[in-house]
Chain A
Amino acid sequence: MTQDHLNFIFIGISFAVYIGIAIKSRAGSTKEYYTAGGGVSPLANGMATAADWMSAATFISMAGTVALSGYDASRFLMGWTGGFVLLTILMVPYLRKFNKATVPDFVGDRYYSKLARGVAVGCAIFICMTYIMGQMRGVGVVFSQLFGISITSGVIIGGAIVFFYAGLGGMKGITYTQVAQYCVMAFAYTIPAIFIAMAMTGNVLPQIGLISHYTAGGEAVPFLEKLNNINTELGFAEYTSGKLSTINMFCITAALMCGTAGLPHVIVRFFTVKNVSAVRKSACWTLLFIAVIYLTAPAIGAFARVNLIEKLHDTSYQEAPYWLQEFEETGQMAWIDKNDDGKIQYYGPAKSVAGTHAVFQGKKPSYPTLEATDSQLVGKHGQRLLANKVDTSNPNELWFGNDIMVMANPHMAGLPMWVIALLMAGCIAAALSTAAGLLLVLSTSISHDLMKKILKPDLSDKDEVRYARVASFLALAVAVYFGINPPSQFIAKTVAFAFGLAASSFFPALLMGIFSKRMNREGAIAGMLCGILFTFGYITYFQFLDGTPDQYLLGITPEGIGFVGMLINFAVAFLVSAFTPAPPQVVQEMVENIHIPSGSGEASHH
Chain B
Amino acid sequence: MKDAPSHPHRRACLRLVLGLLAVWFSVSFGCGILFREWLDANAPQIGSAPFGFWMAQQGAIICFVILLVVYAFLMNRLDAKHGYTEDN
Contact = CB atoms under 8 A, between A and B. Distances in A.
Nearest to A72: B56
Contact of A78 (B17, B46, B61): B61
B5 to A, nearest CB: 8
Given A280-B76, A283-B68, A516-B3, A225 B84 contact: no
A222 interface: yes
Contacts of A224: 48-50, 53
A281 interface: yes
Interface in B12-66: 13, 17, 20-21, 24, 28-29, 32-34, 36, 40, 46-50, 53-54, 56-58, 60-62, 64-65
A223 B69 CA distance: 32
Nearest to B50: A240
A211 interface: yes
Interface in A176-207: 207
B77 to A, nearest CB: 11
Interface string A276-301: 11101101100110010011001000
A481 interface: no
B22 to A, nearest CB: 12
A295 B68 contact: no
Interface string A98-141: 00000000000000000000000000000000000000000000
Contact of A598 (B58, B60, B84): B84
Given A240-B49, A281-B72, A250 B29 contact: yes
Contacts of B60: 77-78, 81-82
Contacts of B5: 595
Interface stretch (A85-93, A388-396, A457-465, A469-477): A85-93
A213 interface: yes
B24 A85 contact: yes
Given A84-B68, A277-B88, A595-B7, A516 B61 contact: no
Interface string B72-84: 1001100100001
B86 A253 contact: no
A240 B53 contact: yes
Most buried by A among B5, B49, B65, B75: B65
Given A250-B34, A598-B84, A85 B68 contact: yes
Given A78-B28, A253-B32, A596-B84, 9 more contacts: A85-B20, A211-B54, A223-B48, A224-B48, A240-B53, A280-B68, A298-B58, A595-B7, A598-B84
A274 B86 CA distance: 10
A278 B54 CA distance: 32
B64 A85 contact: yes
B59 to A, nearest CB: 10
26 contacts: A73-B57, A74-B57, A78-B60, A78-B61, A82-B24, A85-B64, A88-B71, A89-B67, A89-B68, A207-B58, A212-B48, A240-B40, A246-B34, A246-B36, A250-B33, A275-B86, A283-B68, A284-B68, A291-B61, A295-B58, A295-B62, A511-B1, A517-B3, A518-B3, A574-B2, A599-B86
Contacts of A241: 40
A295 B62 CA distance: 8
A542 interface: no
Interface of A: 66, 71, 73-74, 77-78, 81-82, 84-86, 88-90, 93, 207-208, 210-213, 222-225, 240-241, 246, 249-250, 253-254, 257, 274-278, 280-281, 283-284, 287-288, 291, 294-295, 298, 511-512, 515-518, 574, 595-599
Binding site secondary structure of chain A: helix
Nearest to A284: B68
Contact of A284 (B17, B28, B69, B88): B69
B2 A518 contact: yes
Most buried by B among A213, A257, A298: A298
Contacts of A287: 64-65, 68
Binding site secondary structure of chain B: helix
Contacts of B76: 277, 280
A208 B20 contact: no
A297 B28 CA distance: 17
Contacts of B9: 595-596
Contacts of A81: 60-61, 64
A294 B48 contact: no
A477 B28 CA distance: 40
A78 B28 CA distance: 7
A291 B64 contact: yes
A597 B79 contact: yes
Those 7 A-B pairs whose CB atoms lie nearest each other, nearest first: A211-B47, A222-B48, A74-B56, A280-B72, A598-B84, A240-B53, A298-B57
Given A77-B56, A246-B34, A598 B64 contact: no
A597 B28 CA distance: 29
Nearest to B13: A595
Given A77-B61, A284-B68, A516 B2 contact: yes
Most buried by B among A82, A85, A86, A291: A85
B53 A288 contact: no
A241 B41 CA distance: 11
Contact of B71 (A280, A294, A516): A280
A77 B57 contact: yes
Contacts of B62: 291, 295
A280 B56 CA distance: 25
A524 B70 CA distance: 32
Given A246-B34, A277-B86, A90 B61 contact: no
A294 B2 contact: no
B48 A213 contact: yes
Contacts of A515: 1
A583 B75 CA distance: 29
A85 B79 contact: no
A283 B72 contact: yes
A291 B57 contact: no
A223 B45 CA distance: 13
A293 to B, nearest CB: 10
Contacts of B36: 71, 246
A85 to B, nearest CB: 5
